[in-house]
């Protein structure tokens, strides 16, 4: 998940290392730091890169564990403590107190949700510009009840005597709240103060990412030939433009019609790339994918079949092109995160994550592997790409295959394509498309009774799914106008044969994922 041996761009930028103890908000720490123009990387709690001279500070994340659990992550931090500016968050703060001889115990009540933080010292760097009773977000069952002798409490809440501390004689701080989450109103202030402590230059920008990445790609790939898995989305598009800058004619982009694209998408994507000067091959593989997916209903199996199908086709085309050494993909950070967490829990498999089968004689290159979606879009704008490509909603790699619940047939794909086309066109017409993060229609594996023209029908139901987000790590359902939803529902039912019911998904992430499968 964290270390891609095939390709990680090595920026000559100073960086913050985030040691991941398994918190569901670890990635938000990285997101917030990058919003402050600070480059950072997440690594497992026990994999600190000791020989990396570009590290200027370290953050310890939260964790689903208690420090008192026998299975809790308890690494040796001797290579970190006292040697770098250090900030422990929640579990990270409790672990620092625990290993220094303090006491961490179950609180009288589990501390979840909003709390009001008050600094109790005026000269602490981490608490600079933090006013009394600032709202913070707590999420822990334990609390630090006894601090070690060289610890100083610097902030508290009404229920937590030690909400934040510093270690005397070190540039080490700990907070028992989560500065990375949106509900902590002074979270960015806390993180920016920590960067000040680290004497960070904060020089992480789209422009220097492009410059460094193109340079690294030139060095890594040399005169080798590369094929790129083009999807039409912003991730693979930006990857293609970066690679084209680095290796030019040695890049061949392959766009596969797996029969699970949106209506007319195959032709539209090929037209879109004419202005970019890319060498694009379009491959019609609908029959192949329909055959491989026939009768398959289990979501993970569908994803794996589709992923294997892409690899098989790319390998076949690589043999035709000759001398292809690399496969490029538009993998981004949330893909990696969702596929495998530090605790080993797979949320869902991504077709473009996890490396290549041993039988495939291609090496993998992923220029955007450590970027979040909004960062990818900023890079695309810096590269001069057309806005409609940059603003295109995320679309799952397996396409409509994960929006058809149950088995996949050409007939179901056609029904879903027509309904989806009505929905997406409607969003554009009502000027709603750019106001939401992602939208689509899901074909449900249920049928319901309806009445059309005095006749009883028993046809399919579909769900409309629209969310707002900034990075896909969290998402809320979009509060679309009722008039719009009524119009779309009516149009789908009247124009798409086989559908007689439309529902609207009002689930947020978490607990739900954006896609249904």
What distance in Å separates the CA atoms of residue 390 and residue 379, rounded to the nearest whole number? 9
CB-based contact 328:221 (threshold 8 Å): no
Q: What are the two backbone dihedrals, phi and then psi, of residue 47, each rounded to the nearest 5 degrees?
A: -125, 45
CB-based contact 437:479 (threshold 8 Å): no
Q: Which of 234, 240, 253, 262 is nearest to 398 (CA)?
A: 262
- Furthest-apart CA atoms within the chain: distance in Å: 82
What distance in Å separates the CA atoms of residue 313 and residue 318, rounded to the nearest whole number? 8
**Left (φ > 0), alpha (ψ -120 to 50) or beta: where does 95 sit?**
alpha
Q: Please calculate the CA angle 49-54-60 and round it to the nearest 5 degrees.
A: 50
Q: Please calculate the CA angle 433-437-441 and round it to the nearest 5 degrees.
A: 75
Give the count of alpha carbons within 13 A of 189, CB side only.
Answer: 13
Alpha helices in 248-372 (DSSP H): 265-272, 286-293, 299-321, 333-339
CB-based contact 142:104 (threshold 8 Å): yes
Q: Which of 367, 127, 392 is nearest to 247 (CA)?
A: 367
- 214 three-class SS: helix
| Beta strand residue intervals within 332-454, DSSP E | 363-365, 438-452
What distance in Å separates the CA atoms of residue 10 and residue 367, rounded to the nearest whole number? 11
Active site members: 90, 178, 180
What distance in Å separates the CA atoms of residue 126 and residue 148, rounded to the nearest whole number? 19
Structure token pair of residue 155: 């902030």
What distance in Å separates the CA atoms of residue 125 and residue 122, rounded to the nearest whole number? 9
């Amino acid at each position: 998940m964290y270390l891609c041996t095939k390709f990680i761009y090595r920026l000559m930028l100073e960086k913050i290392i985030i040691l991941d103890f398994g918190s569901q908000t670890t990635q938000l720490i990285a997101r917030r730091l990058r919003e402050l123009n600070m480059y950072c990387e997440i690594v497992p709690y026990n994999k600190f890169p000791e020989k990396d001279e570009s590290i200027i500070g370290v953050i310890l994340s939260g964790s689903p564990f208690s420090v008192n659990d026998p299975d809790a992550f308890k690494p040796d931090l001797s290579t970190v403590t006292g040697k770098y500016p250090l900030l422990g968050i929640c579990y990270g703060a409790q672990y620092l107190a625990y290993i220094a001889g303090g006491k961490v115990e179950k609180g009288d009540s589990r501390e979840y949700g909003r709390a009001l933080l008050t600094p109790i010292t005026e000269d602490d760097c981490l608490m600079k510009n933090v006013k009394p009773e600032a709202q913070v977000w707590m999420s822990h069952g334990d609390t630090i009840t006894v601090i070690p002798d060289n610890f100083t409490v610097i902030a508290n809440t009404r229920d937590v005597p030690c909400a934040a501390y510093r270690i005397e004689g070190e540039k080490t701080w700990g907070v028992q709240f989560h500065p990375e989450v949106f509900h902590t109103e002074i979270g960015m202030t806390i993180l920016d103060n920590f960067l000040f402590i680290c004497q960070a230059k904060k020089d992480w920008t789209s422009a220097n990412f492009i410059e460094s990445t193109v340079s690294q790609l030139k060095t890594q790939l040399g005169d080798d030939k590369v094929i790129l898995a083009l999807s039409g989305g912003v991730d693979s598009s930006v990857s293609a433009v970066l690679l084209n800058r680095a290796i030019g004619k040695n890049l061949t982009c392959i766009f596969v019609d797996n029969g699970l694209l949106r209506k007319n998408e195959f032709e539209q994507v090929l037209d879109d790339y004419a202005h970019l000067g890319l060498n694009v091959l379009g491959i019609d593989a609908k029959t192949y994918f329909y055959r491989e997916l026939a009768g398959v209903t289990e979501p993970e199996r569908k994803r794996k079949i589709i992923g294997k199908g892409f690899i098989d086709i790319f390998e076949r085309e690589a043999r035709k092109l000759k001398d292809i050494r690399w496969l490029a993909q538009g993998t981004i950070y949330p893909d990696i995160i969702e596929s495998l967490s530090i605790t080993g829990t797979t949320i869902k498999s991504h077709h473009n994550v996890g490396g290549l089968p041993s039988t495939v004689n291609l090496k993998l290159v992923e220029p955007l592997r450590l970027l979040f979606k909004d960062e990818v879009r900023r890079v695309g704008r810096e590269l001069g790409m057309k806005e409609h490509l940059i603003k295109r909603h995320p679309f799952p790699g397996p396409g409509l295959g994960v929006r058809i619940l149950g088995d996949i047939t050409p007939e179901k794909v056609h029904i879903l394509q027509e309904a989806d086309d009505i929905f997406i066109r409607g969003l554009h017409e009502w000027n709603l498309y750019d106001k939401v993060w992602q939208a689509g229609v899901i074909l449900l594996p249920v049928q319901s009774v309806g009445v059309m023209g005095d006749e009883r029908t028993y046809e399919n139901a579909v769900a409309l799914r629209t969310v707002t987000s900034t990075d896909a790590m969290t998402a809320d359902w979009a509060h679309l106008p009722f008039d719009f939803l009524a119009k779309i529902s009516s149009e789908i039912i009247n124009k798409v044969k086989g559908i007689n019911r439309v529902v609207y998904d009002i689930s947020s992430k978490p607990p739900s994922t954006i896609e249904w499968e």
